Amino acid sequence: MKKTLAMLTGLAMAFSLTACGGSTTAATTAAAAETTAAAQTEAEKAPETEAEKSGNDKLVVGFAQIGQESGWRDAETNDVQWYAARNTDTIELTFADAQQKQENQIKAIRNFIEMGVDVIVFPPVVETGWEAVLTECQEAGIPVILVDRGIDASAGDDLYTTMIASDHVWAGEQAAIVMNDLLGGKGKVVELEGTVGASAAVQRKKGFDEYIAANCPDIEILDSQTGDFTRSMGKEVMESFLKTYDDIDAVFCHNDDMALGAIEAIKEAGKKPGEDIKIIGVDGVKGAFEAILAGEMNCTVECTPILAEQIFETAAKLKNGETVDKWIMSADGVYTSDKVTQEVVDGRQY
Ligand code: GZL
């Protein structure tokens, strides 16, 4: 609210200066006063945060989540909501679910600006199209934390304050290293890509494809299509691959949910997943660990969604005017069959 009032008044002042080209006449001053008054009335209508209603100086965070496309995404949402629910004395969380639509994330961010939250947090569903709304955040003086995905660097990295995310290029490279090992350096591979234009998909593909091209002359990538990070589309695309190619030795899936869909498709085609066709995923969700334990999958490259503590601690630092690193990188592991026991599965946090 306070930010909204300041912003609206600031805009009114800017308007009055622009309107009179820098010199002030009585009429322009009156117009400016009228505009400011209107802005103040308008600001009174802006939704107050609970923190401002109660006068507490809580950390007010607006989180614009992508949606519920995967088990990984749900794990991230649960972690953020549980953390906020356990810290209601110091944190106020406003959460929006964009149902996978960029325009809904943008609407939610504009809402958060209107509310005058302290920090805005969101995973950009795709890398591009954020300049306008992130400029509005800057003008409103609200720092932005990107989580788990990034934006296109050409947009300038001053448009956000920090990114808390795994290294997706590294994940693609790790998958390629394991793939080369599983195939003994020779074989034919198909690739199930994540959401078109999502940094996690773009970078996992870059890491995997470039490693294979540079180090594995006898491994051929037969085909690569998007399964949009969902189990259902992962299954659908794998079914079409199996109809098109009868010599697939392995599949690299940009997330575990698509890998679980691919497993279903391979079984329905009468083949043994994990044996006839090797399967590598990314994320480290429990379903993948269970499939590895059952011998139906060969590896998952972890990409932790348990980011809430880092998110809220970083947001608190930004509210206090502290500076933080531009990229706060998660530490992730690579889980091949030899590393997965029942104890490991039972100990998984998500
Ligand atoms: C990765 C994240 C991806 C996951 C998918 O940081 O953006 O989005 O790998 C999820 O499971 O849909």
Centroid of ligand 1 to alpha carbon of 194 (angstroms): 8
Residues with C-beta less than 6 Å from any ligand 1 atom: 69-70, 72-73, 123, 148-149, 165-166, 200, 229, 255, 257, 282-283, 303
Q: Given ligand 1 and candidates 66, 70, 199, which is best to mutate, with the most ligand atoms within 8 Å of its CB?
A: 70
Would you say residue 235 has pLDDT above 60?
yes
Q: Ligand 1, closest atom to CA 256?
A: 11
Q: Given ligand 1 and candidates 303, 311, 329, 330, which is best to mutate, with the most ligand atoms within 8 Å of its CB?
A: 303
pTM: 0.86
Centroid of ligand 1 to alpha carbon of 72 (angstroms): 6
Can you read off the two tokens belonging to residue 114?
A: 């209107």
Q: Ligand 1, closest atom to CA 199?
A: 7
Neighbouring residues of 76: CB distance < 8 A, sequence distance ≥ 6: 65, 123, 147, 148, 305, 306, 307
State the pLDDT at residue 33. Answer: 53
State the pLDDT at residue 342. Answer: 98
- Render pLDDT for 272-321 as a digit per residue (tens, 0 to 9): 999 999 999 999 999 999 999 999 999 999 999 999 999 999 999 999 99
Nearest to 1 by CA among 58, 42, 37, 52: 52
Whether residue 95 contacts residue 282, with contact meaning beta carbons closer than 8 Å, is answered with no
Q: What percent of the chain has pLDDT over 90?
A: 83
Centroid of ligand 1 to alpha carbon of 257 (angstroms): 10
Q: Place 31 in a pLDDT band, splitting at 50, 70 and 90.
A: low
Would you say residue 66 has pLDDT above 60?
yes
State the pLDDT at residue 55. Answer: 64
DSSP code, position 277: B
Neighbouring residues of 57: CB distance < 8 A, sequence distance ≥ 6: 51
Q: What is the mean pLDDT of residues 248-256?
A: 99
Nearest residue (by CA) to ligand 1, atom 8, is 73
Centroid of ligand 1 to alpha carbon of 255 (angstroms): 7
State the pLDDT at residue 311. Answer: 98
Cβ burial 215-241 (10 Å sphere, 16+ → b, else e):
ebeebebebbbbbbbbbebbbbbbbeb
Nearest residue (by CA) to ligand 1, atom 6, is 148
Q: What percent of the chain has pLDDT over 70?
A: 84
Nearest residue (by CA) to ligand 1, atom 9, is 255
Would you say residue 80 has pLDDT above 80?
yes
Would you say residue 19 has pLDDT above 90?
no
Strands 334-336 and 299-302: antiparallel
Q: Ligand 1, closest atom to CA 204?
A: 9
Q: Ligand 1, closest atom to CA 166?
A: 6
Comparing 287 with 22, which gets the higher pLDDT? 287
- Render pLDDT for 41-51 as a digit per residue (tens, 0 to 9): 554 555 566 66
State the pLDDT at residue 144. Answer: 98
Q: Ligand 1, closest atom to CA 305?
A: 6
**Continuous segment of H or E residues that includes residue 162:** strand 162-165
The count of other CB atoms within 10 Å of the CB of residue 299 is: 28
State the pLDDT at residue 157. Answer: 79
31-35, 101-105, 133-137: least confidently modelled range: 31-35
Mean pLDDT for all residues in the chain: 89
- Environment class of 260 (CB within 10 Å of its CB; exposed 0-12, middle 13-18, buried 19+): buried
36-45, 87-96, 158-167, 212-221: least confidently modelled range: 36-45
Would you say residue 95 has pLDDT above 60?
yes
Q: Ligand 1, closest atom to CA 69?
A: 12
Whether residue 147 contacts residue 303, with contact meaning beta carbons closer than 8 Å, is answered with no
Can you read off the two tokens belonging to residue 211?
A: 């490693």
Q: Place 17 in a pLDDT band, splitting at 50, 70 and 90.
A: very low
State the pLDDT at residue 30. Answer: 54
State the pLDDT at residue 16. Answer: 34
Q: Given ligand 1 and candidates 80, 146, 229, which is best to mutate, with the most ligand atoms within 8 Å of its CB?
A: 229
Q: Place 87 in a pLDDT band, splitting at 50, 70 and 90.
A: very high
35-39, 268-272, 320-324: least confidently modelled range: 35-39
Q: What is the mean pLDDT of residues 100-110?
A: 98
Question: What is the phi/psi pair of residue 162, to 5°?
Answer: -155, 160
